[in-house]
Amino acid sequence: MIKKLYISIIFILWVFMMGLLIKNHYLDENASVNYFSLGTGIKSIPTDSEWMTIYHDGKKLGYSVFSIYNMGNEGYIISSTTRMKAAIAGLEANIIIDNEVKLDTLFRLNEFEFLLTSDQYSTHLLGRKSGTTMGITTIHGHDSTSFQITIPEELYTYIGIQPLIAQQGIIEGDRFKIPSFDPVSMEMDDVEVIHEGRETLTFGEEEFELNRIKILYRGIPAIRWLDDSGLTYREETLMGLMMERTSAEEALSTDESDLTGIDLLDVYAITPDKHIPNQNNTEELILEITGIDPIYLKNMDSPRQRVIRENPLQVRFTLSDFGNKPDSNGVFLYSSDIIQPNKPKIISKMKEIIGNSLDSSDKAENIRRWVYQYLKKFPVVSLSSALEILKHGEGDCSEHTILYTSLSRAAGIPTKIHIGVVYLNGKFLYHAWPVVYIDYKWISIDPTLDQSIADITHIAILESDFTNLSDLFPVLGRISIKVINQVQKENGK
């Protein structure tokens, strides 16, 4: 069974929206964008904890609580906790997200802590600011990595925007952009905030006149309905996810049996206009793909996957290997906090797997076969380190790809990662797979699906070491696929 990579993408988006680092540009009196207007209906920092029930298309998934603590001269502590249950291909995944930030009296970020736990895997992220340096520690189970990044001296966080708006005020028609720093991609980008007007919503038997606030990041909208004290009554995010205000008693009394555990496989799969038969016997496939900027696929252009028309966007897929020698700086042999070819346990396991083999093709195939056989196929809503994956021995496409890439790079084989979709059981599913450089050519393989050469339906959208998954946000839930032509191999049926 494949991991549905969009689950990690969605939760990375959620994490990003909860913990976005924001440069202090919008409070500058000389800024070209007018940020806040005083004298609005929103006029004080909310002091009540916000308890929210989480739904997908009306089906209950869990709950979330958001709290602000005024620490006087020490500033504010803002915390949020989310508990959810989802299902992936019929298997349940329990998800816990804990997030806490410490802000000074002007809502500037001092520290943050984030913890995502799903069954046996966890991702823990700690950050502490000192001047223009942010010290960050990532912890995957018992494995940790620390590093520093350079940041603007004036730094804000998305989770602090709501009380900041509540204190400063925002009126109907206000529209502004906030230059922001994404700690996942380590790049600056904009968050846009729009007051779309006042709207009356009914909760129970009571009506509330609320402020409708739209927040856009890379084209992905989140809508919040705030009352005049800044409390959130409803929030809607991408692809049917919604949170609605409830009481603490109701949230905490929710029985596990009340949660639907909606199967995200069915929600986020892409169904083409017709079935693709005998995909393993196909030598050429032409697809028309809409809902995605052509630049994504043009950036991934190769003999295996080539854009042949832009309007409408059509792509030809073959099983061709492709060239382009790896950079001399060895970027495809690098390690990171999750790709870990330099760890002694990874190196030891690699040597055990490849034995006395000297041929790169044999090494790559031995590692691929071992990863497929070793990892129990199980959904994990997290991005775990290679050491943790090796320890626990289960996962899906992300875990297979991370472990394979770490072992392959440890063996001296340049390896990169493609992220996109693959056709399985009549639908295209978000997926990740490795690409190895052997005998002067790149070869796509798939240890998750036990394919020594990845089948022709692997559509690469992004090249990544799982550090830039936010680049996929603009395409989530928007892609449609139409089959234009399929050519079977001569011996195919």
Q: According to the model, what pLDDT value does residue 197 have?
A: 93
Contact (CB, 8 A) for 127 and 111: yes
**257-294 b/e (C-beta count within 10 Å ≥ 16 → b):** eebbbbbbbebbbbebeeebeebeebeebbbbbeebeb
Look at strands 376-377 and 394-395 and give their pairing: parallel
Look at strands 91-103 and 76-88 and give their pairing: antiparallel
Model pLDDT for residues 148-176, shown as the tens digit of each residue: 888 877 777 766 666 666 666 678 888 87
Q: Residue 486: which of 272, 311, 277 has the closest Cα?
A: 277
Q: According to the model, what pLDDT value does residue 88 have?
A: 60
Place of tokens 């809902």: 291
Q: According to the model, what pLDDT value does residue 99 have?
A: 86
Q: Name the token pair of 174.
A: 């206000």
Counting as low any pLDDT under 50, the low residues of the chain are 1-43, 184, 492-493
Question: Could you confirm whether domain 279-488 is CATH 3.60.20.30?
Answer: no
Average pLDDT, the chain: 80
Contact (CB, 8 A) for 342 and 410: yes
Question: What type of residue sits at position 484?
Answer: I
Cα-based torsion angle of the residue sequence 14, 21, 66, 237 in order, rounded to the nearest 10 degrees = -30
Q: According to the model, what pLDDT value does residue 166 have?
A: 66
Q: According to the model, what pLDDT value does residue 30 have?
A: 38
Q: According to the model, what pLDDT value does residue 362 have?
A: 96
Burial label, 427 (beta-carbon count in 10 A; 0-12, 13-18, 19+):
middle
Extents of the domains making up the chain? 5-265, 279-488
Contact (CB, 8 A) for 203 and 233: yes
Which positions ≥6 away from 51 have C-beta within 8 Å?
A: 63, 64, 65, 245, 246, 247, 248, 250, 251
Q: Name the token pair of 427.
A: 């639908």
